[in-house]
Structure 1
């Protein structure tokens, strides 16, 4: 408290206090708010002038409001079409656009050459071996079990002639798979034909919160604090509580050495707990990994699965080619039921369908930003000073005619087959992010996609309702598709 004593003895401070003691209370009551308002107004006015006329980003084109506020981005996210707005913005202004005072967006994947911070590197290093494809393939029994449940329920729906919310159903499937892989415990969403846990609503609410209020991050602690004071339940509390319960239960099971696990595979959580017993991981690492599996892995997979089915059944010629490949493999006896991951790697048209789905409908529709490191850097022919928050959008990259040809809005898996440009197209793919920030759950998603898509295609037809209309989508963080359809057992 020494600094307080020094302040009290400071002549300037004493003079100010003396003036306040002798000042008229009414004058202070009127003058102080005006003074504070004047200070605030001056601060924002100076910031506005700087952003308009002196900022090193002032020459970058974009919406006028974006020069002085984040309102343009917030409005685009709030309207649910920011992915399309970013495409329109780049078409109008070119490879570099400004969507906020310190927030340019570039049409270049190399943004992710920017180095990661040490904390992220360390967190990722501890758990990344568990996400390799060789590790993921060990979870095939879990995927097979949930795929069997999915096919059984779709058979029921087909017999009933039921109209199905396909994206929602694929979300149930993805959640049940990730629950089985992570905890050896399905969420039973497919069996219950709904989310009785509240997990989907909670995660979507959390993602929307991040998409909207992440634009003004300084307000986030205040908003969280207000919600806590008002007793409002956090959108992520259900997820955290569930993950912690599973961690505690599995610890107890592991402590009983005589108890033998019932799973055909070692669950993701058991691998994490092994790392904990070896001193490599702690409880926050376990919660982080389990929460990421459920929160991020389920939505991205569900979006891609439902998009793949939509584009296949809306394009009969592409569907026919995939079925011909499946039928040929079945005829030569090289295709299991369900399809194994290894078998799927030898199906080039299936792989092209998956790549084309990831291209035409990447799950994440918002920009993925990075902060320019000390010394600044050049991207897309523009120099950015250190501290600039530069972003890139997957939808903009994936609809680039110079890379993907004159028809990027067309679902055409053939673009991935036998063309010398394939390696260039691959290098621009951004469905799972890029660089060290590539989605760590990428292989989980690919495992599910390569197994369940051929299984549904070989067994069912899907008649999409209002097939003559474009598919509705809503984009805050993820680009959720919306459509209904009726499954029919394939004859």
Structure 2
């Protein structure tokens, strides 16, 4: 074949161009087509027809904003292993998930994560040993006991949130709850991390332009992550067209706060009214336990995990609670009963919230039915390959991973009512075998579990009972008041009116 092409192009410039095009087609499409169809050990893995030969099928689903729903449909149709592109496979069998994401595993992240460019952070770094070292240096800052030290800061922002919601109720203004919950999440993170909130709730807007940048970043990782060959070109174009990287504002803000804290507090020796997260990182830096890259890692993780994931989860929780009056009544009964008995305060402390079983079931069920990310968290199969539970041998270099949405909606794991919002499932006797907790994938799994998980849970646990005990939400009366868009994160969209809570007889 190659000889024919060479004979054709000799002495003919036009033929040379045509020959190169034909040769490229053969090398980059025809050969993979034939290999995947006839010779690949994964040729029998089911999936959409075009996914066998091109990434365009997966790319199209992402551009439609419905990847999270499409993955659920695929796994219901084809089973626990599905081909989503020539080199990418989605898996949801619990045993396979444990193999790939379990502690001590040797499955590095794929090139998907290179789309955010440099410098690498604790989330995007692909090498497992590098990640382990970075995480070890700051892990003590993220324990829940360390997080609880910031309750004072969370309470201040929660008080502001309730005040703002009272103002919105008085104005009878139709608002986007997902936007407002993200404003809350960012203001809390600013207060915890830097002792300075972003002013988003007060101004009802993206005051720093950071939300816009983070959403654009998520769009980038979702789209460019599927096109590793174009990532270097994209990063070069960013520098020319946008004067920086996809996270320029976030990085600049962190460094400004870094120097402000150092210059006004003698490195880390003086204390403010409480130890901010950044001040604790500076103390580690002063003791030569971490470097500046770890400062960016930890503060960036706070802004990422403590904002998008928190805002999404709170928005979904409020939607499902208020759209299911029986669930709302049960949660309010728990809150009101414990308030009357003097077992919880106003605001609820984190310690008190741990003794509220239905509240915790609501939070867990919300994380199950609406996890933040709607695509697979891809890993690269290491040397020697892997055999999946269904008997498929996956050769080294293949990209394989789990999408939280089909996993969380799996009837094998969560029962025949997996598609229903039912917090009670977490309060019932456990089935055998019970994979429910170990397959909760909202924050990832294993050694790569999101380091900011406890930041997010602290925020959610503190504010949710405050809103439920004080306000009613009235939704727009239209055919489809709810929507969700998946670029990479799955952002909910809906609007409602906030009203002061009206007592209802026999609410429980």
State TM-score, norm by structure 1.
0.91
Partner residue in 1 for 2:291: 282
Q: 2:91 aligns with which of 93, 106, 111?
A: 106
Q: Distance in 2 between matches of 1:285 and 1:57?
A: 40
Q: Distance in 2 between matches of 1:27 and 1:404?
A: 67
Q: Distance in 1 between matches of 2:41 and 2:72?
A: 24
Q: 1:385 aligns with which of 383, 395, 402?
A: 395
Q: Distance in 1 between matches of 2:288 and 2:306?
A: 26
Residue correspondence of structure 1 range 113-192 to structure 2 within 5 A: 113=102, 114-115=105-106, 117-192=128-203
Name the SS for the 2:437 alignment partner. Answer: helix
Q: Distance in 1 between matches of 2:135 and 2:388?
A: 26
Q: Given the alignment of the two structures, is residue 37 of structure 1 paired with residue 37 of structure 2, yes or no?
A: no
Partner residue in 2 for 1:309: 318
Aligned-pair distance for 1:32?
A: 3.9
Q: 2:68 aligns with which of 56, 72, 83?
A: 83
Aligned-pair distance for 1:361?
A: 0.8
Name the SS for the 2:41 alignment partner. Answer: coil
Aligned-pair distance for 1:191?
A: 0.7
Name the SS for the 1:275 alignment partner. Answer: helix
Residue correspondence of structure 1 range 58-457 to structure 2 within 5 A: 58-108=43-93, 109-110=97-98, 111-113=100-102, 114-115=105-106, 117-255=128-266, 260-263=270-273, 265-381=274-390, 382-421=392-431, 423-457=434-468
Partner residue in 2 for 1:10: none
Q: Distance in 1 between matches of 2:290 and 2:157?
A: 29
Aligned-pair distance for 1:151?
A: 0.2
Aligned-pair distance for 1:256?
A: 7.0
Contact conserved, 2:267 with 2:282, CA < 8 A, in 1? no
Count of matched residue positions in the alignment of Structure 1 and Structure 2: 465
Give a deviation string over 1:102-133, Cα, whole Å, max 9, x none: 11111133220233521111111111111111
1:461–1:300: structure 2 CA closer, same or farther, 3 Å change rule? same
1:256–1:86: structure 2 CA closer, same or farther, 3 Å change rule? closer
Which sits farther off after the overlay, 453-462 or 375-384?
A: 375-384
Partner residue in 1 for 2:39: 54
Name the SS for the 1:99 alignment partner. Answer: strand
Q: Distance in 2 between matches of 1:234 and 1:447?
A: 30
Aligned-pair distance for 1:342?
A: 0.3
Q: Distance in 2 between matches of 1:349 and 1:359?
A: 15
Name the SS for the 1:390 alignment partner. Answer: strand
Aligned-pair distance for 1:261?
A: 3.6
Partner residue in 2 for 1:5: none
How large is the RMSD of aligned CA atoms in angstroms?
1.9
Question: Structure 2: any 5+ residue segments left out of the alignment?
Answer: 1-9, 109-127, 503-508
Q: Distance in 2 between matches of 1:451 and 1:252?
A: 33
Q: Distance in 2 between matches of 1:222 and 1:235?
A: 14
More helix by share: 1
Q: Distance in 2 between matches of 1:289 and 1:351?
A: 27
Q: Distance in 1 between matches of 2:478 and 2:408?
A: 24
Which sits farther off after the overlay, 224-233 or 281-290?
A: 224-233
Q: Distance in 2 between matches of 1:256 and 1:51?
A: 58
Q: Distance in 2 between matches of 1:281 and 1:260?
A: 19
Contact conserved, 2:157 with 2:184, CA < 8 A, in 1? yes
Q: Distance in 2 between matches of 1:360 and 1:315?
A: 14
Q: Distance in 1 between matches of 2:174 and 2:322?
A: 16
Partner residue in 1 for 2:117: none
Q: Distance in 1 between matches of 2:341 and 2:51?
A: 59
Question: Structure 1: any 5+ residue segments left out of the alignment?
Answer: 1-25
Q: Distance in 2 between matches of 1:332 and 1:296?
A: 35
State TM-score, norm by structure 2.
0.88
Contact conserved, 2:148 with 2:350, CA < 8 A, in 1? yes
Which sits farther off after the overlay, 108-117 or 181-190?
A: 108-117
Contact conserved, 1:57 with 1:102, CA < 8 A, in 2? no
Partner residue in 2 for 1:17: none
Q: Distance in 1 between matches of 2:472 and 2:254?
A: 37
Q: Distance in 2 between matches of 1:389 and 1:302?
A: 30
Aligned-pair distance for 1:231?
A: 4.7
Contact conserved, 2:214 with 2:247, CA < 8 A, in 1? yes
Q: Distance in 2 between matches of 1:378 and 1:447?
A: 39
1:88–1:183: structure 2 CA closer, same or farther, 3 Å change rule? same
1:403–1:470: structure 2 CA closer, same or farther, 3 Å change rule? farther
Q: Distance in 2 between matches of 1:485 and 1:233?
A: 37
Give a deviation string over 1:262-315, Cα, whole Å, max 9, x none: 33x211111111121122211122112211211232000000001101111101
Q: Distance in 1 between matches of 2:478 and 2:333?
A: 23
Contact conserved, 2:187 with 2:199, CA < 8 A, in 1? yes
Contact conserved, 2:475 with 2:497, CA < 8 A, in 1? yes
